[in-house]
Amino acid sequence: MTGQNIYQAFLKQLTSDIQGKEKYSYHPLSTSQSLLIGRAPSCQIIIDSREYQGVSRRHVEIRPLNLVASDGSPLWQVCDLESSNGTYVNGRRLKGCQILETGDSIALGRSGPEFIFDCQQRVLKPTKRSPMTQKTDTGLNITQLVPILSSKEDLIQKAYLVPGIITVLLVIGLFTSIGNPDAFNFLLGTYLAGAGFYFVYRLAGKHKPWWLLIGSALATIIILNSPVLKLFIFVFREILPGSIPQDSNLPFLPLFVRMFFGAGLMEELLKAIPVFAAMWLGSLLDSPWRERIGVREPLDAILIATASAAGFTLLETVGQYVHIVIQESGEVVGLQLLIPRIIGSVAGHMAYSGYFGYFIGLSALKPSKRWQLLGIGYLSSSVLHALWNASTALSGALGILVLALVGVLSYMFLVGAILKARQISPTRSENFATRLGPPKF
């Protein structure tokens, strides 16, 4: 019985880490889609212009061909896109296009980044056990008898070990805090807010240090308890027409205007402070801390912004609204308010902040359009925020319908921004949500 031949092709890029040790990064090639390399954000492999100044915006393209070699393997060609400093294949300047062979080196300019083309063949050999072998295969190993001894990586990542441990600790904490509504609501609110953010984190698919993300949430909580909040209230609610009415008898349009200034503009800017701080701090650091802490692309800003929003939601809900409701209407009503407010933050505060974060990160990729992008993100997120708050002026079925529409729209804006951020990410090949990574042979 013959096996099946499978070909996998990729580009290997030689890079160096902070200690100067050489390593390869892998970029898989598709048999149906071309791959662009250059400085432009639209490229699949984006070259840092600060490290390689001689690379053009759209320097070179790797294209699959509708042809196969004599051994049946698919073919790719490399095409120079009229780059300023040229493309070199095996040391010779490329004119137009050239079919690639395994081992070919592709250099972007004389001293630019270098890639190695490789196409490897795998043979899947079918195996067949005889009935006798299947019946007598009774061998056991220690991991079958003690499954917890399985791969540590599988146990932590595939089995969601850390979320499971956090859930167990939450249950213990809830049991011990029965009779103490403040502690009970804080634990439950923190867990729900963390679960909402974890959903965004998995959807974004980019690794960012957890201490940085937790620090962003804590920074926002600290800001809300500092004189900075009073300054924001003075500017947006006293100087600007953003005073929040004590009653809800205002018509929709006047209430929307007040909420736009007093809630949308004020709170979205406040929640964005940790994002701008991370962007500034990252610009002062060297690699790899620049990449870990800084904001170099939309995914970075989205994660930091939504973490900040989680801290804002937690303090606003548990420390303000729920506390007041418990005093006025009892613990049960307070709990009924806590759960939907925290869960709804994915289509609320996290959605507004994440959407603004997308434009902040995009401004890092396109500095020439920075103020235009920041203005669009700031205003659009503030409008969504104000629409949600002002919908309380609408009563009955109409009010519920508008709330639902704004919530769904806000969630769609967030996930749309995340999906686009993944698409244009300079680190797309490392994104665990896109299922791209080094080929395994």
CA distance 280 to 290: 10
DSSP bridge pairs for 78: 62, 98
Question: Beta-carbon neighbour count of residue 267 at 10 Å?
Answer: 24
CA distance 416 to 257: 27
User: What pLDDT, on a 0 to 100 scale, did the predictor assign at position 269?
Assistant: 97
Q: Confirm if 186 and 318 have CB atoms less than 8 A apart.
A: yes
User: What pLDDT, on a 0 to 100 scale, did the predictor assign at position 69?
Assistant: 81
Residue 424: partners with Cβ closer than 8 Å, 6 or more residues away: 41, 42, 297, 298, 365
pLDDT tens for the 441 residues of the chain, in order: 455 667 889 999 877 555 556 677 889 999 888 999 998 888 999 998 888 888 998 999 999 988 888 778 889 999 999 888 999 999 899 988 999 998 899 999 988 899 999 988 766 555 555 444 444 455 566 666 777 765 555 666 666 778 889 999 999 999 999 989 889 999 999 999 999 999 999 999 998 999 999 999 999 999 999 999 999 999 999 999 999 877 667 889 999 999 999 999 999 999 999 999 999 999 998 878 888 899 999 999 999 999 999 999 999 999 888 888 888 888 899 888 899 999 999 999 999 999 999 999 999 999 999 999 999 999 999 999 999 999 988 888 998 999 999 999 999 999 999 999 998 888 776 777 864 444 443
CA distance 259 to 237: 10
Q: Confirm if 347 and 404 have CB atoms less than 8 A apart.
A: no
CA distance 376 to 373: 5
Tokens of 6: 């499978």
User: What pLDDT, on a 0 to 100 scale, did the predictor assign at position 67?
Assistant: 82
Tokens of 93: 């300047």
User: What pLDDT, on a 0 to 100 scale, did the predictor assign at position 438?
Assistant: 40
CA distance 314 to 189: 6
User: What pLDDT, on a 0 to 100 scale, did the predictor assign at position 439?
Assistant: 41
Tokens of 70: 């004599």
**How many residues would you count in the chain?**
441
CA distance 295 to 297: 6
Q: What is the DSSP string of 332-364?
A: HHHHHHHHHHHHGGGGTHHHHHHHHHHHHHHHH
CA 256 to chain centre: 31
List of domains in the chain: 4-124 (2.60.200.20), 177-430 (no CATH)
CA distance 391 to 400: 8
Q: Which helix (H) or strand (E) holds 74?
A: strand 74-80
- Classify 437 as helix, strand or coil: coil
Residue at token pair 């095409």: 79
